[in-house]
Amino acid sequence: MTFFVCSNCGYGSASWMGKCPDCGKWNTLVEKPEFAKTSSSKATKKIKITKLKTVASSYKIRFKTGIFEIDRVIGGGFIPGEVVLLTGEPGVGKSTLILQSLQNIPSLYISGEESAEQVKVRADRLKINLDNFYFSNDTQVEGIIAGLENLSEEIKIVVIDSIQTIFSKDIEGPIAGISQLKEVANKLISFAKKNKITVILIGHITKVGEIAGPKTLEHLVDCVLNFEGEKISQYRLLRASKNRFGSTDEIGIFEMSGGGLKEVTNPLVFLEQKNQYEPGKAIVGVTEGKRPLFFEIQTLVSSTVFAVPRRVVKGLDYNKTLLLIAVVKKYLYLPLDSYDIYVNVIGGVSIKSTSSDLGFIASLLSSFKNIPLPKSSLFIGEVGLLGEVRASYFEDKIVSEGKRLGFKKIFSSLNVKNIKDLKILLR
């Protein structure tokens, strides 16, 4: 029986088609006459059953990086056999983060994008100790695994930079194609679990900010780390969107300098040092994990010259911002359809917490009325569709930290029950 398989994604069909219905590529279906025969001839193996209680766990052992901001995010250190996917914009500092965090752990750095000389030049610039680093630029996954068999006792962590440059000889199709990525990832994950070696996969992201490759890649790995930050800003944030061995609520903050990444522990690092009070500016308090942080939201409301007013949002969720604008229009009776609205979070970072809702609305009202908010004021709270202000996650802790840092007027669900109460600030 003749069978046709897509060389890009692995889709199978009994008849040839010009366009693969799964991945949409043209002329990728290749004839496989022996496919059905070899598939059916495989002997059935009985499954191996183990009583879970008798399994000895090695997941209590962790390799600490020595960088608190990283260890905080991953749950205290890397675990033997853990597979981590690290993603971020090109040039954001992923390779720098890896080099700085692994200099105290025996590691193999495999790069399909840079030569050994290029990696060493960067490491020398960052003044990184290279005693624990090995290097390879081989990109065939079978060769990588075979080479690691001899180094399994010396190597604790393997870094693949990047997963899109590695290929398997067992799969036809272009490098970085869907079928290649699946096969490479499966082999590396199987090797990591069997040999208790941590594998860190550095991955590309698409134009829209999503991880490149099949979504199954994120499901297969144990931890997905996102390294965020504008290249024009010196600040970088490390978040975990998935973590089987730790929390996904924590955040690591770094400052990029000529000497590499530096840890940031000051919760006011994103705020302007000069105490200028101008219309459209509000300070919000949020928590990332158990850590209170403070950000500055700036909003500009100006008359529009377009039939449909513009809404430009940077640093906040776009759809949530539109929702809050609609709430303000309905309950505060503001004619915002005649105005363009521009929103920005200072520092080139993004706020995920809903605790910023009240602060955004305060900055919106301040810009619309052209009246500055009260000095040393802080806003904390989530706003519902009915205009009510709800208590946010760890609100008491943010309030306590805000008082310690010198905020005199703190507006939260404790003293603001509805957004109509904000009108008092702007009279």
pLDDT per residue as tens digits for the range 59-99: 678 889 989 999 999 999 999 999 999 998 888 889 999 99
pLDDT (average), residues 237-265: 90
Alpha-carbon distance values, 271 to 14, 284, 295 (Å): 62, 10, 6
Residue 91's pLDDT is 84
pLDDT (average), residues 372-397: 93
pTM: 0.77
pLDDT (average), residues 327-333: 94
- Residue whose C-alpha is closest to residue 106's, from 126, 83, 80, 85: 80
Measured at the alpha carbon of residue 199, what is the angle toward residues 177 and 175, in degrees to the nearest 5? 15
Residue 361's pLDDT is 96
pLDDT at 41 over 60: no
Q: Lowest mean pLDDT: which of 51-60, 111-120, 271-280?
A: 51-60
pLDDT (average), residues 253-281: 85
Residue 273's pLDDT is 67
- Residue whose C-alpha is closest to residue 110's, from 74, 167, 163: 163
Higher confidence at residue 17 or residue 7? 17
**Cβ contact 395:416 at 8 Å:** no
d(CA 331, CA 325): 10
pLDDT at 55 over 70: yes
Band of the pLDDT at 152, cuts 50, 70, 90?
low
- Say which residues have a Cβ less than 8 Å from residue 60's Cβ, sequence separation at least 6: none
pLDDT at 268 over 90: no
pLDDT at 121 over 70: yes
User: Which run of H or of E encompasses 125?
Assistant: helix 116-125
Domains of the chain: 3-40 (no CATH), 62-263 (3.40.50.300), 281-426 (3.30.230.10)
For every residue of 251-286, DSSP letters joined together read: EEEEEEETTEEEE---TTTTS-SS----TTEEEEEE
**Cβ contact 389:324 at 8 Å:** no
pLDDT (average), residues 300-311: 94
How confident is the prediction for the chain on average, in pLDDT?
A: 88
Band of the pLDDT at 399, cuts 50, 70, 90?
very high
Band of the pLDDT at 57, cuts 50, 70, 90?
low
- Give Cα 388 to chain centroid, integer Å: 31
Residue entry with tokens 């997963």? 163
Band of the pLDDT at 349, cuts 50, 70, 90?
confident
pLDDT at 36 over 60: no
Between helix 357-369 and helix 318-332 the angle, nearest 10°, is 60
pLDDT (average), residues 277-285: 92
pLDDT at 275 over 90: no
pLDDT (average), residues 340-353: 91
Q: What percent of the chain has pLDDT over 70?
A: 92
Band of the pLDDT at 427, cuts 50, 70, 90?
low
Alpha-carbon distance values, 306 to 55, 303, 339 (Å): 66, 9, 9
d(CA 105, CA 63): 8
pLDDT (average), residues 177-186: 87
Residue 50's pLDDT is 83
- Residue 91 burial (10 A CB sphere; 0-12, 13-18, 19+): exposed
Structure tokens at 302: 């100006």
pLDDT (average), residues 252-276: 84
pLDDT (average), residues 266-295: 85
pLDDT at 217 over 90: no
Alpha-carbon distance values, 422 to 21, 79, 302 (Å): 54, 49, 20
**Cβ contact 320:369 at 8 Å:** no
Q: Lowest mean pLDDT: which of 40-49, 145-154, 159-168?
A: 40-49
